[in-house]
Amino acid sequence: MSVIDEILEANEIYSRTHELRRLTPRPARKLAILTCMDTRLSIRTLGLMTGDAHIIRNAGGIVTDDSLRSLLVSHYLLDTEEIMVINHTDCGLMHTSEQELRTRIQNRTGTAAIAPAFFFAFQNIEENVRHQLQKLHTHPWIPKEVLVRGFVYDVSSGRLREIK
Ligand SMILES: [Zn+2]
């Protein structure tokens, strides 16, 4: 049985009660979070409940064209008023470089590819968070009244540290 089959079984059990039926598409706490897909970060580590916030995730927690698209939909269509950007220690993207990752995949597949153009590998985590904040602070469609703050989540201590 694959993991997906296990999920289907679990969902069958969940659907018998469907406790989250009453949630609306609008995040109850008017919050959008952009973070990494890392398994160690979850709503639980942030004290959130399902329905509280939009969680937009990609490798690294990077402001890309697509995560920006989601943040704009979150604010303009679904009324979120605060944005939290969270990167984390021990991120897979810190243990590689753009070129190394590209070469690794090309060696495995035996072919080059035009997309993705960037993997957004990085070395300095504080710098990386500041870079994401800068992209949001300077974007003409992110209004000044939307609060944008950046953090590093330490996977060893479980603590968030704000980056200014
Ligand atoms: Zn990560």
Ligand 1 centre and the CA of 118: distance in Å? 15
Model pTM above 0.85? yes
The mean-pLDDT minimum among 41-45, 87-91, 114-118, 139-143 falls in 114-118
Confidence of residue 31 (pLDDT cuts 50, 70, 90): very high
Cα 89 to ligand 1 centre (Å): 8
28 HSE (CA, 13 A, CB side): 9
Nearest Cα to Cα of residue 101 among 83, 121, 84: 121
Band of residue 49 on the pLDDT scale cut at 50, 70, 90:
very high
From the list 54, 49, 48, the residue with the least C-alpha distance to 20 is 49
* Residues surrounding ion ligand 1 at CB below 5 Å: 36, 38, 91
Tokens standing for 159?
């603590």
Domains recognised in the chain with CATH numbers: 25-163 (3.40.1050.10)
The pLDDT tens digits of the residues spanning 82-133 come to 999 999 999 999 999 999 999 999 999 999 888 998 999 999 999 999 999 9
